[in-house]
Amino acid sequence: MHPLLFSVVDNIRSLGWGGAFQLLRNGLVLGSLYALIALGYTMIYGILKLLNFAHGDVYMVGAFLGYGILTRLNGPLNLAIGIVPAIALMFAVAMAGSGVLGVAIERFAYRPLRNAPRIAPLITAIGVSFFLENSVQLLTNGFQYTYDPFELGKTGNEELGPLYHTVFSVAGNPVTTVQLLVVGSALFLMTALVLLVSRTRFGKSMRATAYDREAASMMGIDTDRVIAMTFFIASMLAGAAGVMFGLYLGVTYYFMGFLAGLKAFTAAVIGGIGSIPGAMLGGLIIGLVESFAIGYVGGQWSDIVIFGLFILFMLFRPRGLLGSRAIQKV
Amino acid sequence: MSDQSNTPVPDPPDAEAQTRIGVDSWVAESEDRQARKRGFFGPAARGWDASPDPVKLFLFIAVAGTIPFWMNEGDLFVYGLFTVLYATLGLGLNVVVGFAGLLDLGYVAYFGIGAYGYALVSSDHYGIHWPTLASLPAVMVFTGLIGLGLGLTSRRLVGDYFAIVTLFFLQAFLVFTNTANPVIHGIGLTGGSSGIGNLDPLEFFGYSLTSVKQQYYFFLLVLVLATAGLYFANRSRTGRAWRALREDPLAAEVMSIPVNRLKRLAIVMGAALAGLCGAIFAAIQTAVTSSNFTLNVLIFIFAVVILGGIGSIAGPILGAIVINVSFQFLQPQNDHPSIKRWLFYGAIVLFIALMKPWYRAVVVLVGTVAFGLAVHAIVSATAAASWTAGTVTDAGSGSAGKAIADWVVIPNQTLHGGFATYAYIGLVVLVCVVRSVTGWWRTVVLIPTLYMAAVVWENVLAPNPAVTAEILFGVLLIVIMTVRPQGLIGTARVEII
């Protein structure tokens, strides 16, 4: 047997059920983050048929906005206000800021090319991604900004801040507040999004625009506004994911958007692009695959496992798990 | 909708640039085209248009061939050799994207596979030293086969799906070479992040190409052969079939064109050319590391093809000249700080001078200078002295530096570190405002925007030339796509399905 396969079996044996639970827990947290970013990809692809390369960088900007608010409030150590309002403020600013950024990207980089060949907005998307990434590199001097979320909101001489308190344990494996926070707020945002899309008037016009833009505009829907709102919501979700990533891992850096964006897009495609439940399912799958690949195969192989599985998956089911079969029009 | 009815609908900013319905744009623009060819350079331009394609190629060879006679070795390496490299890579990508209309984002992986392939058969890494005449074709065949494997996915995946699969292929390649590094015969296959060094130089019939001049001429030969080959391929039956498939794959299939085979052929041809480039590049660098094949290189090659014009043969060559020369010029190691500054201010003045009507240009020019002087006077009168205490980076001459420091607000970097961030974000916001207002409002907003551009340049961009080059590159992609989606000389409307 190949040594790599041998070590996989070995890892599964040595980690046991407790290790498997840890990997499952990490995978769920990671998967919720990917699902939030993937929702943005799937919404924008659904409405514009555009692969928005800049979306991962919007997520990165969101993480930096959250970090900026945290340092303005005197960092994780001596918070000026309580921990709950501080985290709420981080989410609010990052989501609003990323949302505005998304609308600006749509307005100045994609809208002028609404009727151009489809490769043109794709190239501007790459340009926007390049611009955002390097602008943040310029303004942050290219450093990795680490802050210690373990210290966040610590009172007295506790070992860890309230975010890292154990809520409950499964077979001796702790589940902490921040992990519940990430999964819980991701679930909350997704529920809100599903309700918005399926129950409101705006959601109806969004679905109509995604189905047929021309026909929707003939029915009196202001499609430009619907598209701008879609970008706002999609970028808002990415900004929230950025803050969650910062709270969970305590680090932000200017190139964090690329790989996360790529994996989130994988999630969107695996779920079936354009399908909102598909993006959530795909995000969870990618998160779990990544987590188990890191645990059982090794960190340096996890990306190759994801990309290899994805290419195989695309060969056998290109429309994704929950996607509908596209009908080619002549 | 009701709030829209009482406000007049403004014209989109590029209303006149859009194709009008019922008007053949080629006929409509023919007068513009004729008018452009008059003037001082008119006869030369008309002669260039009228000359047959082989003559154009010979003129290009004649000009490119004389470059080593007046350029020193270092400049020839970055300006000459790299331009030829990117032009050849651009030609290969043009086969896939321009001819066949497949958005292949894994193209750089073939380039990397070619380089690593050459490194494995021509170095002490495994102690294998094949002759160049054997290793170059072997590398081309190998990358072609890899391309064929990936091309098999193009049967079921169209458009963005193919793009994303190929992008993942590139990412998997990077991870494979950089961190995975599987051990074979006791040695890491790809050398990990340090790569493989001490490669053999290219050697033909006992002559090894070691000087930059020899390598330049060899690469130029490869470029010319590739250009000629693609020229004939484009005019052949296969080339016509590619264009048909690019314009409408379904219609092409109905016309009994073997769509899948032609797609694979285009991918294999592009991959083999990229592999050849990779092998030559590895031999010239005498080392390979995975940092040479990142996404940035991919975007660079895409920019070359797009700027020149997708689907045209001369396009990638022109694009490579423009993009590589300007990009290398902005790099910090090729130091010309004072020239860069005058290029920046020259570009601003040129931008103002091209405004119509002329009095608007005068208003903007005078307004910007006056605005700057006023802001500087107000800041030095009201704020602390440290707000104007910064120094001009690489001023070139003392008087120029003083003139700039008297006009642009340059605070002391250590005391007011946050200023740069706010100025930069302010500039981006102002540019967005300029894009969204029209008429005299645009003129009015343009004045602080131009001044802010100068402030940002002096405070943020000039001290960080490496990142500046990348930022300008991203902006260039956006601007070109918005202003002229077909590129400099491209005419084909390439639709990625």
Whether A318 and B421 lie within 8 Å, measured CB to CB: no
* Best residue of A126, A218, A319 to probe chain B, by most B CBs closer than 10 Å: A126
Does the residue B299 lie in any domain?
A: yes
**B13–A138 C-beta distance less than 8 A:** no
Nearest to B464 among A138, A301, A330 (CB): A138
Residue whose structure tokens are 């990412």: B171
Q: Are residues B389 and B453 in the same domain?
A: yes
Taking the C-alpha atoms of residue B110 and residue B87, their distance in angstroms, rounded to an integer, is 16
Boundary residue ending a domain (B330, B364, B382) = B330
Residues of A in contact with B163 (CB under 8 A): 51, 122
Look at residue B26 and tell me if it is in a domain.
no
Q: How far is B346 from chain A (nearest CA, A)?
A: 23
Quote the CA–CA distance of B94 and B78 in Å, as a whole number: 23
Q: Which two tokens mark B292?
A: 């040479």
Search chain B and give the residue with CA nearest A130. B474
Residue A250 has what pLDDT? 83
The interface predicted TM-score of the complex, written ipTM, equals: 0.80
Chain A interface, best mutation among B164, B259, B449, by max A CB count within 10 A: B164
Length of chain A, in residues: 330
| Claim to verify: residue B108 and residue B247 sit in the same structural domain | yes
Indicate whether B355 and B322 sit together in one domain. no
Question: Residue B31 falls within a domain, yes or no?
Answer: no
Can you give the pLDDT at residue A155?
66
Mean pLDDT of A142-171: 74
Radius of gyration of chain B (CA): 26
pLDDT digit string, tens, across residues A40-91: 998 998 888 888 889 999 999 999 999 888 888 877 777 778 788 888 999 9
Give the containing element (helix H, strand E) for A28: helix A3-48
Residue A35: pLDDT band with limits 50, 70, 90: very high
Q: What is the DSSP letter of B134?
A: H
Are A266 and A279 in contact by the 8 Å Cβ rule? The answer is: no
- H-helix or E-strand containing B91? helix B82-94
- Determine the structural domain holding residue B284 and report its residue range: 48-330
- Section A249-260 average pLDDT: 86
Find the largest Cα–Cα distance for chain B. 81
> Across the A/B interface, how many CB contacts are shorter than 8 Å?
148
B305 and B393 together in one domain: no
Domain annotation covers residue B9: no
Compute the mean pLDDT over every residue in chain A, rounded to the nearest whole number. 85
pLDDT of residue B372: 86
* Residue A99 pLDDT: 96
Residue of higher predicted confidence among B199 and A158? B199
Total domain count, chain B:
2
**What structural domains and CATH numbers belong to chain A?**
3-316 (1.10.3470)
Q: Is residue B475 part of a domain?
A: no
Domain co-membership, B372 together with B299 = no
CATH number of B261's domain: 1.10.3470
In a mutagenesis test of the B interface, which of A132, A307, A309, A327 is the best target, namely the one with the most B β-carbons within 10 Å? A307
Q: Between chains, do B302 and A126 touch, taking CB under 8 Å as contact?
A: yes
- Going from the C-alpha of B201 to that of each of A193, B148, B274, the distances in angstroms are 59, 29, 19
Token pair, residue A126, equals 């790459």
Considering the domain architecture, whether residues B310 and B409 belong to the same structural domain is answered as no
* A chain contacts of residue B250, beta-carbon cutoff 8 Å: 328, 330
DSSP state of B408: S
Cβ atoms A162, A86 nearer than 8 A: no
Q: How far is B453 from chain A (nearest CA, A)?
A: 14
pTM of the model: 0.82
- Chain A, 292-321: which have a CB under 8 Å from a chain B CB? 300-301, 303-304, 307-308, 310-311, 314-315, 318
Identify the residue whose tokens are 């396969």. Answer: A5
Neighbouring C-alpha atoms within 13 Å toward the C-beta of B88: 27
Is B476 inside a domain boundary?
A: no
Q: How confident is the model at residue A237 (pLDDT cuts 50, 70, 90)?
A: very high
Query: Nearest chain A Cα to B431, which residue?
Result: A108
Residues B266 and B290 in one domain: yes
Which tokens belong to A285? 């799958």
Q: Where does a domain end: B330, B348, B372?
A: B330
Q: How confident is the model at residue A92 (pLDDT cuts 50, 70, 90)?
A: very high
Determine whether the interchain pair A124/B159 forms a contact, defined as Cβ–Cβ distance below 8 Å: no
Would B489 be classed as within a structural domain? Answer: no
Task: Test B481 with A318 for CB contact under 8 angstroms.
Answer: no
> Which residues neighbour B416 within 8 Å (Cβ) at sequence distance 6 or greater?
B386, B387
Q: B281 and B372 in one domain?
A: no
Among candidates B212, B199, B210, B4, which has minimal Cα distance to B118?
Answer: B199
For residue A168, which phi and psi values (nearest 5 degrees)? Answer: -150, 165
| Position B360 in a domain | yes
Contacts of A120 in chain B (CB under 8 A): 481, 485
| Minimal Cβ distance to B160: which of A51, A266, A315 | A51
Name the DSSP class of B19: P
- How does DSSP classify residue B81? I
Chain A residues 107-166 within an 8 A CB cutoff of chain B: 107-109, 112-113, 115-124, 126-132, 134-135, 137-139, 142
Contacts of B464 in chain A (CB under 8 A): 138
Cis peptide before B357, with omega less than 30 degrees from 0?
yes
Contact A120 B436 (CB under 8 A): no
CA atoms A131, A132, A137, A143: torsion sign: negative
Of B280, B304, B330, which one is at a domain's C-terminal end? Answer: B330
pLDDT on residue B18: 56
Nearest CA in chain A to B461: A138
Whether residues B408 and B316 fall in one domain: no
**Do B343 and B317 reside in the same domain of the chain?**
no
Q: Which pLDDT score is estimated for A117?
A: 73
Distance in Å from the first CA to the final CA of chain B: 33
Please choose, from the candidates B31, B295, B332, the residue with its C-alpha nearest in 3D space to the C-alpha of residue B168: B295
Reduced 3-state DSSP string for chain A: CCHHHHHHHHHHHHHHHHHHHHHHHHHHHHHHHHHHHHHHHHHHHHHHCCCCCCHHHHHHHHHHHHHHHHHHCCCCCCCCCCHHHHHHHHHHHHHHHHHHHHHHHHHHHHHHHCCCCCHHHHHHHHHHHHHHHHHHHHHCCCCCEECCHHHCCCCCCCCCCHHHCEEEEECCEEEEHHHHHHHHHHHHHHHHHHHHHHHCHHHHHHHHHHHCHHHHHHCCCCHHHHHHHHHHHHHHHHHHHHHHHHHHHCEECCCHHHHHHHHHHHHHHHHCCCCHHHHHHHHHHHHHHHHHHHHHCCHHHHHHHHHHHHHHHHHHCCCCCCCCCCCCCC
- For position B244, what pLDDT does the model report? 86
Query: Which of residues A290 and A174 earns the better pLDDT score?
Result: A290
Tokens of A79: 């918070």
Give the pLDDT score at B6: 56
Q: In chain A, which ranges are E strands?
A: 145-146, 166-170, 173-176, 251-252
Q: What is the pLDDT of residue B2?
A: 45
Q: What is the pLDDT of residues B9-49, one digit of tens each?
A: 555 555 555 555 555 666 666 666 555 555 566 667 677 77
Q: Are A233 and A5 in contact (CB under 8 A)?
A: no
pLDDT at residue number B90: 93
Res A23 pLDDT > 60: yes
Q: Are residues B432 and B313 in the same domain?
A: no
Structure confidence at residue A168 (pLDDT):
80
Same domain, B278 and B344: no
Contact A220 B1 (CB under 8 A): yes
Q: What does the buried/exposed string (b/e) look like for A77-110 if buried means 16 or more CB atoms within 10 Å of the residue's CB?
A: eebeeebeebbebbbbbbbbbbbebbbbbbbbbb
B-chain residues near A301 (CB < 8 A): 180
pLDDT in tens, chain B (497 residues): 444 455 565 555 555 555 555 556 666 666 665 555 555 666 676 777 777 788 888 888 888 888 888 888 878 888 888 999 999 999 999 888 888 888 888 899 999 999 999 988 888 777 788 888 888 999 999 999 999 988 887 777 777 778 878 888 888 888 888 876 777 776 777 777 777 887 888 878 878 888 888 889 999 999 999 999 998 988 899 988 988 888 777 888 888 888 889 989 999 999 999 999 999 999 988 888 888 888 888 888 988 888 887 778 888 898 888 888 877 877 766 666 667 777 788 888 888 888 777 888 888 888 888 888 888 888 888 877 777 766 666 655 667 777 777 788 777 766 666 788 888 889 999 999 988 888 888 888 888 898 888 888 888 877 777 788 788 888 888 888 887 777 776 655 555 54
